[in-house]
């Protein structure tokens, strides 16, 4: 990776409220085919290294998480879940799908859009999402805390 690319990635991680380590972990969560390109996960054009143009990321993520489920996850509900950390009972299956199955770039960019729309810092939204992931044991995007035996 070129030095300029690393600087761009570091700046992008900062904008998204992620550490480089968190971004690498998410890139290695992959889509079932091995590690993803880090710029791709961070919503950067992999050739020019500029952020992708704004899209309806919350809508795309909500649509992805509504396939095959009785209750549809709306973009507004996803925004509320990300900003509050509260998951309505009827949307548990949707949010578990979001955490375990949605394309990693969609998750990252949906959090970014939610932060922009809500005016909340993205770090808060990531903490909310990590809390939900821990509660529902969805560890694809977040590292597990070390166990007691690992600390000894």
Residue 133: the pLDDT is: 96
pLDDT in tens, 34-78: 667 899 999 999 889 999 999 999 999 999 988 777 788 999 999
Q: What is the pLDDT of residue 50?
A: 93
Six-digit token pair at 61? 């993520």
> pLDDT value at position 29?
82
Using a cut of 0.75, tell me whether the model's pTM lies above it.
Answer: yes
The alpha carbon of residue 27 and the mean position of all alpha carbons in its chain are separated, in whole angstroms, by: 11
Residue the block writes with tokens 């939204």: 125
Q: What is the mean pLDDT of residues 17-41?
A: 84
Alpha-carbon distance of 57 to 107, in angstroms, equals 8
């Amino acid at each position: 990776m070129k030095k300029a690319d690393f600087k761009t990635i570091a700046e992008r991680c900062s904008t998204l409220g992620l550490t480089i380590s968190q971004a690498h972990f998410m890139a290695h969560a992959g889509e079932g085919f091995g590690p993803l390109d880090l710029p791709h996960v961070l919503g950067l054009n992999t050739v020019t290294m500029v952020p992708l143009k704004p899209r309806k990321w919350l809508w795309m993520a909500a649509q992805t998480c509504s396939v095959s489920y009785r209750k549809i996850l709306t973009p507004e509900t996803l925004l509320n879940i990300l900003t509050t950390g509260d998951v309505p009972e009827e949307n548990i299956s949707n949010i578990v799908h979001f955490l375990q199955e949605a394309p990693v770039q969609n998750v990252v960019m949906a959090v970014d859009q939610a932060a922009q729309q809500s005016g909340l810092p993205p770090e808060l939204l990531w903490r909310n999402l990590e809390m939900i992931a821990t509660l529902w044991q969805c560890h694809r995007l977040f590292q597990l805390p070390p166990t007691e035996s690992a600390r000894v």
